[in-house]
Structure 1
Amino acid sequence: MKKKLGVILSISLISSAMALPTLAADTTTSATVPAPAPSASAPAPVSSTKVSKPTVNGTIDTSKMAADSVYTVVSGDVFSRIAQKYGLSVDALAKLNPHIKNINWIYPGDKIIVKVAPPAAPAAPAAPATVAPKKLFHGFGEVSNYRIRGEKNDNLNITTASAVFDEDGKIVDLTWDVQEITYALFPGWLDPKASQADKDAFVAKIDDKWQTKREEGYDYDMTHKKSKGAADNLTKKEWFEQLNTYESFFKGKTVAEVEAWFKKYTDANGRPYKMAYPDKLTDSDKAAVAKFSAEEKAMLVDVTTGATMSLQDPHSHFISALKEAYAARKEIK
């Protein structure tokens, strides 16, 4: 009877030992080492042969980790020994494994990170996309017209437009100019008594006298600043300065867009509605601008602050010359 009771107790103790977690105090876990004698403070023996884990450790996703970065706990392992095995302090190993709630309670099958994964190499910068440069086209337009006063031809105006367009037809660069040929440029030639020598002398100086309006610069004196001592036009800007305003404003637009703008925002004389000078608006002008949005009116204020001269009148045919330039454009090689 005593022999049977001893066998039963042995089986019970073995079953209990198999269910218990690996403790930090269990440093070797060898079958040949006798179990330590219970102390006065030791807990009462477990009556059941089945012991549940007091804490369930969290799980981590190790699928993307290197195999040598993760250790799987086996029976008999203790946290400190795992740390020593991988050359880490206990604290360092604990910081790598925040999912281990209590380092004194680890279980077979737990995953412990034992190596910090090297930082991912920075991604190589993407090679810049190869963008083919846009093609550019240059065109030159020239339009001539006589300004007629009454029934008499007065002077001959030759309007030119030199423009660069991109492959979408948008203006990249634009230069307008006008050569105004007046009777004053022909002294001697109009005098029936002038000798051929006088006429030849005039021809010798023709390069000095024949300048475009842009070449004349401030000497053209459209503002009358030079002749009167103070600019007396609305913008107080000279001819070439006003033209610069238009050229800058039309960059980025197609010829069709420039033409549409001209038809919508200029009066019968080809001048933009003078929104910067409301007292100069005629009744007809006021009726036209009343239909414009606040944005359109603000745009016209900006434009007419810098330019009010006509874009298409007997003095010059800027719109027509631009259309000619676009029609004659050729790719810049």
Structure 2
Amino acid sequence: MTDGGTAFQPGQAEPSLPYRSRGAYAGHDALGAGAGAVLLDPEVAHDLRSAAEFATQERRITGGLLYGRAWMDDEGPYLVVDGYLESGPGENPGDRVIRDGQDNFTLTDADLRLLRQDAARMYSSALEVGWWRTLPAPGGFNPRDYLTQQDLIQPGGIGLVVFGSGLEWGAAYLGPDARPPGPLIPAPRPASHAGPAYDTDIAAEPGPEPVDIAAGESLLTPDDELDADLEPEPVTGTVVATRLPALTPAPQRASRPVISPVPADDWRARPASPGNIGPRIPTDVKIVVGALVVVSCAVAAIIGVLLSSAMIAVIVAVIALLAITIFVSVTRL
């Protein structure tokens, strides 16, 4: 602790420390117990963890100074941390994780000067009680951190290492010789979502005894104890009974077969490509084709007469008819 911060030695009575029972900080997280314990404000612990996680995502290290007060009670002196300041990101040349999680982070003189200027405005009634830094994963002080602890921390001060990943929150070191005060003991937190409120009288009542129906037990009162003129009272509460498995009978076939209304002939397989499927020849096309056939035959006859050969006439007529047939067949496709 520096800049006029009150220092104290754990385990020794210091008359300069004001008296306040640590019970006033019952909601604080505890590092250690008895003389030299450190009580950490839960909001500060949460903010430090968030800063560590954010810095880890950016592959850098962050840190700063801690602020609070030193007190005395019947168990001895203890430290309360209820404030912190963080050095600006990117202002420290050694804040980058270089390899294998190693780094060269330290609080430079420029960092300390800016932090203490801010503390004069924000924590004017508090004392500088320690420093903190982050690690990407659970670990501890490196040799450079021990030198920083010796330079910044007086007896009773604290250095914190806050982890940016894992289930553990961090580690603490007391005094310039960096003694571990003990593990972080979180204070009990009230449940954020309270469950349904139950009536204690109802919950205290014993439940109904189980009834084994398969063994012949009954939920009804014997007939000789019932009043014939009055209906039996309904059963209240929860009744636990053993139920026999209900077996569903297998479906039975109908006595008479159902006759389908669709004729049997309609279920026969039909040809996939019946012959009547396709475009029909229009009437005007038929007239034109017929005219062509007549003209072809006439031309063949004229050629036969001119050449005085019936054979040539027949050949011409056959070729003309074949040409007309092929043309009509192609146009139907």
Query: TM-score, normalising length from structure 1?
Result: 0.17
Higher helix share: 1
Larger Rg: 2
Query: TM-score, normalising length from structure 2?
Result: 0.17
